[in-house]
Structure 1
Amino acid sequence: MLLAEALMDRGRYNTGIVSSDMKEAAKELRKKAHMTVGRAKKTAAFFLVNTEEYHSNIYLILGDSSKFDKLSYNPIEEIKREANKTIETINAATNAIHFWAITGDFWPGYLYVNYPAPTYHLAKRLNSVLTPYILNEYRVTSFAKFLSKLKEYPNNGTIASPDEESLFTNVSVGETIDLILERVYRGTSTPTLNIHEEALRTFLEICTRKAPFTTHRGHVYIQKYGVAIGSPLGVLFATFI
């Protein structure tokens, strides 16, 4: 209990190396109704925050009506029907890329996280189909290529690594979809994809603008702007130029 008390004394948040003692402390803190303990994103550290403040901040974010809509029903079956209708149309076309129908039971993700949304595997398939259409002129695809690029420049500068706040959830989905369709169907240096353009647009819309999720109170929301966290299309949309 001493470690747990020490963590609480150190302030609202705590990050650091995870040890067995740290894990035990986290378990103890989770028993406290007024404290929320979780794993920080992109690190092995824990975060510690007042539960009431944590939930208040969540609903402050969800209150942005330009990005989220609160629903009075679960739209999962509706999304499945719309996606499967388009899948059936594409699969019936000669020489079209085949997509598997969406079957089985699904439920909304939690707090704008895409998995296990019914369109998760569809988004994963679309990502593999569309990744070759990303231009490689301004990006490197491996650390070795990055080092090779560095050697082309004089050794008298500073390497900077810019960060983005909420990158995926701030992607302009509509503009990015238009850009993708322009590249795929009217690009001069890329082959035309053997899927009808409107069908691809429908797929991209469903997989991004129809990502339902729930909150700790069971409220259902749908994200209508940006790409849901965990979506296989996140990196594609964020880097498509």
Structure 2
Amino acid sequence: MDRILLDTSKFQRLSKDPTEDLGKKVSRLVIRANNQQDVVKFPKVKGDYGPGYCYRTVKTHKAGNPLRPIISQMTSPTYRIAKVLNDLLVPYIPGAYSLKSAVEFIDLLQEKGPEDDIASLDVESFFTNVPVEETIDIILDRVYRSEKNPLPISEDVLRDMRKASTKERPFLSNQGELFRQIDGVAMGSH
């Protein structure tokens, strides 16, 4: 796990806890988003919150049983807005080339004949290799420049909310050290 967290292209070790400042930033973003429209009300940041925490599971199906880092953000000030954003953005995801479950994949295999090609890809460390900035740009392009109706909040507020809920959230390692993930996304988050 230490080897994973010491990858400075993905994680940044922090010397002080930025959670309080992040909470204030998210509060300002929520106020801006809620003032721009009446359709979706983002929840206020309230109550006790703190950094997320990292834990790991073993990939028992992989040779050498590597670890899968999971970062829980349930205690983070971004957790509730990330859930709302997830629900808002799901309609913009193209569904033509993706499956929702292994059951859907099995059904597809049973229905397609041998003349059709079906591929399943296994990408090493998939979540931690998602390019966040590019992904946010793709999301914004689909939301604001596609045939679907754009969201009623401004593009700059949505961008800042996505960055806050992906790149700015601190978390504690299993040894109590503070980090934030600066690229890639974490399993266990929205």
What's the TM-score once normalised by structure 2's chain length?
Answer: 0.81
| CA shift in 2, pair 1:201/1:157, >3 Å | closer
Larger mean CA deviation between 128-137 and 86-95 belongs to 86-95
* Aligned pairs (5 A) from 1:130-149: 130-141=89-100, 146=105, 149=108
Q: Secondary structure at the match of 2:25?
A: helix
Q: 1:72-111 deviations in whole A, cap 9, x for unaligned?
A: 1111111111111011011112434210111111222222
Shift of 1:177: 0.3
Tell me if structure 2 keeps the 8 A contact 1:212–1:221: yes
Q: CA-atom RMSD, angstroms? A: 2.3
Q: Aligned residue for 1:162?
A: 121
Shift of 1:212: 1.1
* Cα distance in structure 1, aligned partners of 2:113 and 2:175: 56
Q: Aligned residue for 2:72?
A: 114
Task: Give aligned pairs, total.
Answer: 174
Residue 83, structure 1, aligned to residue 17, structure 2 = no
| CA shift in 2, pair 1:163/1:93, >3 Å | same
Q: Secondary structure at the match of 1:79?
A: helix
Q: Aligned residue for 2:149?
A: 191
Q: Aligned residue for 1:206?
A: 164
Q: Aligned residue for 1:98?
A: 41
Equivalent of 1:217 in 165, 168, 175: 175
What's the TM-score once normalised by structure 1's chain length?
Answer: 0.65
One-letter amino acid of the counterpart of residue 135, structure 1: P
Tell me if structure 2 keeps the 8 A contact 1:76–1:107: yes
More contact order relative to length (CA 8 Å, sep ≥ 6): 2
Which consecutive residues of structure 2, in runs of 5 or more, have no partner in the other structure?
55-69
* Cα distance in structure 2, aligned partners of 1:132 and 1:182: 14
Shift of 1:153: 3.4
* Cα distance in structure 2, aligned partners of 1:142 and 1:215: 30
Give the % identical residues. Answer: 40
Q: Secondary structure at the match of 2:171?
A: strand
Q: Secondary structure at the match of 2:71?
A: coil
Which consecutive residues of structure 1, in runs of 5 or more, have no partner in the other structure?
1-57, 233-241
Which structure shows the bigger proportion of residues in helix conformation? Answer: 1
Larger radius of gyration: 1
Tell me if structure 1 keeps the 8 A contact 2:52–2:171: yes
Shift of 1:121: 1.6
Shift of 1:152: 5.5
